Amino acid sequence: MSTEVYRDAWGIPHLRASGPTELAFLQGRVTASDRGWQLEVERRRSQGTTAAFLGAEAVDWDRFARRTRLDDTARRCFEALDGETAAWVRAYVDGVNAGMARGEARDPRFARTGLTHRPWEPWVPLGIWLSTHILFAGFPTKLWRERVALALGEESATLFATDGPGTSGSNGWLVPGDRTATGSAIIAGDPHRFIEDPGVYQQIRLACPEYDVVGLAVPGVPGLAHFGHTGTAAWAITNAMADYQDLYRERLRRSGSLVEALGPDGRWESVQHHTETIELAGGEPVTVEVVETARGPVVLQGPEAAPWEWEHAAPTSTSPTGTSSPTETTSPPKTSIPTDTRTRTTTRTTTSTTTSTTTSTTTATPFEPAVSLRYPPRVRAELGFAALPALLRARTVADVDRAADLWAEPVNVVHAADTAGGLLHRVAGAVPVRDRSNQLRLVPAWEPGHEWRGWAPMPTEPVQGFAVMANARGIASPLGVEFAPPHRANRIRDLLSGSDHWTSDGMADIHMDTRIASAEALLALTKDLDGLSPAAGALRERLLGWDRHMAADSAEALLFAALRTAVVRALAADPAFAGLADAPGGPEVFHPWLHLVPRIGYALEGLLTSDLLTAVDRIEHVRAALEAVAAQPPSGVWADAHRLVPWQALPDPDAQWPGLGGDHDCVLATSSVPGATDLVFRGPAARYVWDLARREDSRWAVPLGADGVPGRPHHRDQLAPWARGELVPVVTDWSRLEKESP
């Protein structure tokens, strides 16, 4: 045996090779064959070169990728890898390059766009990882808090906290052996990300004499970073909601060919800068200036950065708290609220000139405002890729723990268990130690005290009873600012507490739970309303009698969503929020974090109960919304409105997508944009159940299928089971698999 490829009934690849290096090559080759279009889009996205084949709408992402120096950071991180890990990654890249011709031939989208694949550099997998996670920690939230503080006053900066970004949400739970029917642990959960076509997770099996692992891979990245089962040990992660990216307000000035930034010692420092060219399909190339200060790459520059400069604040106005606060002098142009809260696209051509980094003592002169981003991979030249081969070799919880020590980006909560009864609940990643103000808002680069001072220790806790991770406050609390509301975590604990004989088959009921505890804050405000019309009174009684489940077939869930939308829009139109009503200027890539309606929608529960919002008559807004919905109630059930709309690089207008149950605060966290649309953009990007008693009793599912090519039999064959909450079996018996011809 050198290399062998097998498939199960769902087309999931099971790979065997004579050693880890050969297996990495095979993983790359098979992934390129199955998902060549996806890999080429992701490569170009990481390098900022997507506009060359996707057109003008892709320019904004390409500009962001260039400014943040994703490709250069990936190259630096690759060059810093130890020799063994670098060779392993290089073998995967060689496999991708060997398989891309077949992948291109299988997928008509290459011909449709005129796209042709190009050989990968060895650091491309690291670039794909970076581009996938650069916005994962949500640093644009700091721009939002800055905007809120300018419009409403400093004390209101965190007013819109949901206790976490409402679009985040992944679930994971660990059931120890004393709570299962077999006496061995079960790990289960579902990562919630933007649902994409092809999917962001790839079901795969990787086997060689050294290990035999099943799990969920990120296409374009070797190994199994997030979810895997080695037979004797299994692991899974969720987003820890840590804050580890900082934004600095910069003062830049130009002196001939030099660009200088004012540093914390009061001296002007020469900074790196060069220009790059973004090729544009059907249009003229776009030039972008790339600037990097001692803090990090500049992500906002010139007029687009001005709104975040306190020096540009105007006299005060009345805030919702009844106090005075600064307001912005400039009004960004109006744009529509985005219905897709993800900006995706990609492409690269570069010309470069770089200055030296010298220091002058010139007195400060009129400056150009800018905002720079400091993020750990750029500072440390490390993503944690050495953990990936270590995880494949894990036999025990201790092995997973040691591998997690190598992790860097992003910061995750980890669950692990082994067949000997070992359990693990910890955080893994790199979080800088710095002043608390860095975590909340933009901080001035020219003032001392905002430097990074080393790295925070990663918390770990013993597993007592069930271990649950759902982005809420808990083990990672010391590392973050905002977390997800506790509803999903509390609900999972309640459901798990109902039995001490759990089996892998029982986990699907938890995956699909639709109870929405956050609805209570809104419904409670309707109870004491008087003077309602008969229709509004009847609607209130119907909603108060509702079981609080956002079930796909529930008419009451649809009515509640309509009421929520009406309340969100009424609050957004309140004069107290006038300073936030206009759409933000600057790069569109940040807009999902900066629009008022979605921010109110995700923070609605807190806004309806906050003591800070004294200038807003919430009761009257709820009354008016109830009357409006009662006058024109929607017909049908929740699934009629709550339909899946995956992100596609080339949208298919004829695609038919299912309606779903759930909502962003349900365990079945199918997220829309409350107040803007009920369509589903984010949800369970995979589901998994790792059984430590018998790996063959494990289960998994993805939203679409194993094949990334539209029209192929396994492109969407898991969509219907996934929508129903069904899981497909993890096959481990090679005799039950079909061997693929070379």
Structural domain contains residue 200: no
Structural domain contains residue 383: no
> What DSSP designation does 460 have?
B
Q: What is the pLDDT of residue 312?
A: 37
Q: What is the pLDDT of residues 550-568, one digit of tens each?
A: 999 999 999 999 999 999 9
In the numeric block, which tokens belong to residue 135?
Answer: 């916005």
Distance CA 516, CA 510 (A): 13
Structural domain contains residue 411: no
- Mean pLDDT for the stretch of residues 279-298: 96
Structural domain contains residue 317: yes
Q: What is the pLDDT of residue 696?
A: 96
Contact predicate 718/703, CB 8 Å: yes
How many separate domains does the chain show?
2
Q: What is the pLDDT of residue 319?
A: 41
Instruction: Flag whether the pTM goes above 0.75.
Output: yes
Q: Which of the listed residues 88, 115, 133 is the one where a domain comes to its end? A: 133
Is the same domain home to 128 and 253? no
For residue 313, give the amino acid letter: A
Q: Facing residues of 260 across strands?
A: 253, 270
- Mean pLDDT for the stretch of residues 479-498: 94
Does pLDDT of 106 surpass 60?
yes
Contact predicate 187/497, CB 8 Å: no
- Mean pLDDT for the stretch of residues 447-463: 97
Structural domain contains residue 642: no
- Mean pLDDT for the stretch of residues 32-38: 97
Is the same domain home to 129 and 249? no
Confidence band (pLDDT; 50, 70, 90) for 333?
Answer: very low
Q: What is the CATH number of the domain that holds 316?
A: 2.30.120.10
> What DSSP designation does 322 have?
S
> What DSSP designation does 665 have?
T
Cα–Cα distance list, 140 to 149, 232, 374, 586, 593 (Å): 14, 41, 13, 12, 6
DSSP 221-251: S-S-SSEEE-SSEEEEEEE------EEEEEE
Confidence band (pLDDT; 50, 70, 90) for 256?
Answer: confident
Share of the chain above pLDDT 70, in %: 91
Is the same domain home to 129 and 250? no
Contact predicate 426/413, CB 8 Å: yes
Does pLDDT of 340 surpass 90?
no
Q: Which of the listed residues 133, 153, 188 is the one where a domain comes to its end? A: 133
Q: How many CB atoms are closer than 10 A to CB 616?
A: 20
Rg (CA), the chain: 26
Q: What is the pLDDT of residue 350?
A: 33
Q: What is the pLDDT of residues 648-668, one digit of tens each?
A: 999 888 889 999 999 999 999
Q: What is the pLDDT of residues 381-423, one digit of tens each?
A: 999 999 999 999 999 999 999 999 999 999 999 999 999 999 9
Distance CA 458, CA 465 (A): 22
Q: What is the CATH number of the domain that holds 73?
A: 1.10.439.10
Q: What is the pLDDT of residue 1?
A: 52
Side-chain-side CA neighbours of residue 709 (13 Å): 17
Q: What is the pLDDT of residue 169?
A: 66
- Mean pLDDT for the stretch of residues 506-526: 97
Q: What is the pLDDT of residues 694-739, one digit of tens each?
A: 999 999 999 999 999 999 999 999 999 999 999 999 999 999 999 9
Range of the domain at 22: 16-133
Q: Which of the listed residues 324, 354, 378 is the one where a domain comes to its end? A: 378
Q: What is the pLDDT of residue 639?
A: 98
Q: What is the pLDDT of residue 325?
A: 32
Mean pLDDT of the chain: 90
Q: What is the pLDDT of residue 342?
A: 34
> What DSSP designation does 554 have?
-
In the numeric block, which tokens belong to residue 329?
Answer: 């002098």
Structural domain contains residue 430: no
Structural domain contains residue 74: yes
Does pLDDT of 344 surpass 70?
no
Q: What is the pLDDT of residues 125-154, one digit of tens each?
A: 999 999 999 998 889 999 999 999 989 888
- Mean pLDDT for the stretch of residues 200-208: 98
Distance CA 138, CA 387 (A): 24
Q: What is the pLDDT of residue 309?
A: 53
Does pLDDT of 311 surpass 50?
no
Structural domain contains residue 309: yes
